[in-house]
Structure 1
Amino acid sequence: MAPEQITPVELPDPRYEYGADDFVFVELAEAMSFTANFKAMAITQQVAQQEIDGVVENCPGNASYMLRIDPEIIHPDDLIARLQTIESEIDLEEYEWETRVIDVPVLFEDPWTHETLMEFRDRHQDPDGTDLEYSAQLNGFDSVAAFLEAFVGAPHMVTMVGFVPGLPWCFQMVPRSEQLEVPKYVEPRTDTPSRAVGFGGAFSVIYPVQGAGGYQLYGRTPVEVLDVDQELPDFAESIVFPNPGDILNYRAIDRAEYDAIREEVEAGTYEYTYDRVEFSPDEFFADPHAYNDQLVEGIR
């Protein structure tokens, strides 16, 4: 049987916009797709590598990107001309980037997110069930276990970081026919535990801090994605660990492993398990399942 492929999307011409005096916003497509997101990451990677004078911040998004500039150093029109050149020179069939495949242990159906989601049932589409039961039924699975098997069965790529500092938005690396989808709560919660693993639309997230939220809650990870004080070894260079283009491999754990990892985190000694790889969009499009197995092999 031939491997299932993902067909790259034909993107429209980019739309370039000013954002006040010191931002340039570029929309690559109206809809999120692997093609649009890979193109956004490729362009922003090239901007970073070229160290364009006057570019202060560089933020890729799901199907767009934004650059903050110093207008006294570079005019937006001059930057847009550079961006148009970069965009025209990128061929995703040949482009690759170095990234990390990161092990993310998760205690699914944990007591903390369970207590929270039960507290807010009046804001949910299914007041009589749990978020996982609702998600499993909505996606045609006959059990929560089967749904979770699909959720962890393929890695999730970090497509952007934002909304709140350190929150990774992750898109599961599967063909469209296999994508899981769920709506957000009818009305957002006023509380979500830190490190909660949630899902909304087709995106998984890890909530970096306690606060409001509207995504379906599935579990909690013992590891941090945000370390403002940079006390953990993996945060020496940045207060945020996951970066756009990183690949998260969610892994189900039990309470004993959760507690053991959490003890290391609180002692300041925990280090992520990850593998550095060269990611090829072309190889991923050609056979996503086989390529995913190849990607995660180094952390299993």
Structure 2
Amino acid sequence: MLIFPETKFDFCGDEYIYAEISKEMRIESNFKAISITNELRKRNIPGMIEVYPSNASYLIRYDPNAISPHHLLDYLQEIDQQKSDRSELYFSSRIIEIPVWYNDKITKRTIEKYQHLQPEAEGDDFSYVMKANGFTDKEDFIASHSAPPYFITSLGFKPGTAWGFPLGVPQRQILQAPKYPSPRSYTPSEAVGIGGAFTVVYPSESTGSYQLIGMSAVPVYDPGQSLPLFQDSFFLAKPGDLWKYRPVTEAEYYNIREEVAKRIYEYRVKSIEFSAEQYDEEGMRYISQLMEGF
């Protein structure tokens, strides 16, 4: 049942208001954060500069010369009260397929260089995460990870990094992994990692502390906007999207990479309307309905 505590609002300096929906990460709180920030963008409030949704909160940047922070707070409190009704938690979304070469050779070569950071993994993040979640068979682990869609809760860390939380999975069955005690100095672009209950695709080469389990065959960040799906943004992800990981072989991975390089690859995408109320009531049955035909 969707029940929210009272949202806590704080003024941060002269240009920001921070709203904390809940102290702990709850997917329901993220549904509310995305619904509120979408509504704020629709209203196009004069003086509001940027809106940043996060896992269980959101941040507003505004121009204090254009709007009083107290007037803006009135807007926020009004919308917050409206979106505390679960029937108001709905938004346009997309299901996007991400082909992944799991247990790949690329990340394995990377991980070998950082074995000293977590000796217990013995230089193999994939097997480490698999065993930590009670799996003995690699294919069973891949099937478990790729079965649910992952709800994009927020973007951050580096441009294009999107955090995905599995939907329709019982709490006790959600795959989880500890982060590296100290981060790697290098992670390959498009590496797929798990940290806590979240899965990410690294958008570019960077440091990183998530356990690496595969490689995305497609980019999630395109600063040149050379692929059609990136015409409106450098980033593939938008908060509220659902990413569906599809296992591919090594050969399929390189075939897709070639299509990407030639700029002829077409992402598999389905537009949907997401209802938090229906998800709350029907769970996996609702997710299965959304995934029909995909």
TM-score normalised per structure 1: 0.94
Aligned with residue 293 of structure 2, among 280, 293, 298: 298
- Which residue among 20, 23, 44 is the counterpart of 2:37? 44
SS state at 2:77 partner: helix
Per-residue deviation, 1:11: 2.5
* Post-superposition CA distance 1:70-96 (Å, at most 9, x none): 111112211111010001112223432
- 1:33, 1:85 → 2: CA distance? 22
Bigger mean CA deviation after superposition, 94-103 or 187-196 = 94-103
Alpha-carbon distance between aligned partners in 2 of 1:285 and 1:234, rounded to the nearest angstrom: 30
Q: What CA distance in whole angstroms lies between the structure 2 residues aligned with 1:33 and 1:298?
A: 29
CA distance, structure 2, for counterparts of residue 287 and residue 177 of structure 1: 18
Contact 1:133 1:143 in 2 (8 A): no
Q: Does 1:247 align with 2:234?
A: no
Q: Give the drift of 1:19.
A: 2.1
2:187 — aligned with what? 192
Do the aligned residues in 1 keep the contact of 2:31 with 2:89 (CA within 8 Å)?
no
**1:177, 1:286 → 2: CA distance?**
19
Q: Which residue of the other structure, out of 48, 55, 58, is the alignment partner of 1:62?
A: 55
Structure 1 residues 82 and 183: CA distance shift in structure 2, 3 A:
same
1:219 pairs with 2:214: yes
Q: Tell whether the 8 Å contact from 2:114 to 2:123 is kept in structure 1 after alignment.
A: no
C-alpha separation in 1, matches of 2:19 and 2:164: 21
Which amino acid letter does the alignment assign opposite residue 280 of structure 2? F
The structure 1 segments of at least 4 consecutive aligned residues displaced by more than 4 Å after TM superposition are none
The root-mean-square deviation of aligned C-alpha atoms, in Å, is 1.4
Residue 148 of structure 2 is aligned with which of 145, 151, 154? Answer: 154
Matched, 1:92 2:59: no
Alignment of 1:128 with 2:117, yes or no, is no
Q: Is the 8 A contact 1:249 1:296 kept in 2?
A: no
Letter in 2 for 1:241: L
Structure 2 equivalent of residue 206 of structure 1? 201
Contact 1:157 1:170 (8 Å CA) reproduced:
yes
Code of the residue aligned with 2:145 in structure 1: it is F
Match of 1:4 in 2: none
- State the distance in 2 between where 1:99 and 1:73 align: 32
* CA distance in structure 2 between the partners assigned to 1:13 and 1:95 by the alignment: 16
Q: In structure 2, how many angstroms separate the alpha carbons of the residues matched to 1:68 and 1:163?
A: 18
Residues 42 and 265 of structure 1, relative CA distance in 2, 3 Å threshold: same
Q: Does residue 171 of structure 1 match 2:165?
A: yes
Aligned with 1:136: secondary structure? helix
Shift of 1:260: 1.6
Residue 281 of structure 1, CA deviation: 1.1
- Paired amino acid for 1:85: E
Deviation at 1:135, TM superposition (A): 1.2
Q: Using the TM superposition, give the Cα deviation of residue 111 of structure 1 relative to its aligned residue in structure 2, in angstroms.
A: 1.3
Superposed counterparts of 1:221-240, under 5 Å? 221-240=216-235
Secondary structure of 2:101's counterpart equals strand
- Aligned residue number for residue 118 of structure 1: 112
How many residues in Structure 1 have an aligned counterpart in Structure 2?
Answer: 292
Distance 1:72 1:298, change over 3 A: farther
State the AA in 2 paired with 1:145. E
Q: Name the CA distance, whole Å, in 1 between partners of 2:192 and 2:279.
A: 25
Alignment partner, residue 3 of structure 1: none
SS at match of 2:152: strand
Give the gaps of 5 or more residues in structure 2: none
Between the aligned partners of 1:86 and 1:200, the Cα distance in structure 2 is: 32
Identical positions, percent: 37
Q: Which residue of 2 aligns with 1:33?
A: 26
Q: Match of 2:10? A: 17
Aligned residue identity for 1:24:
I
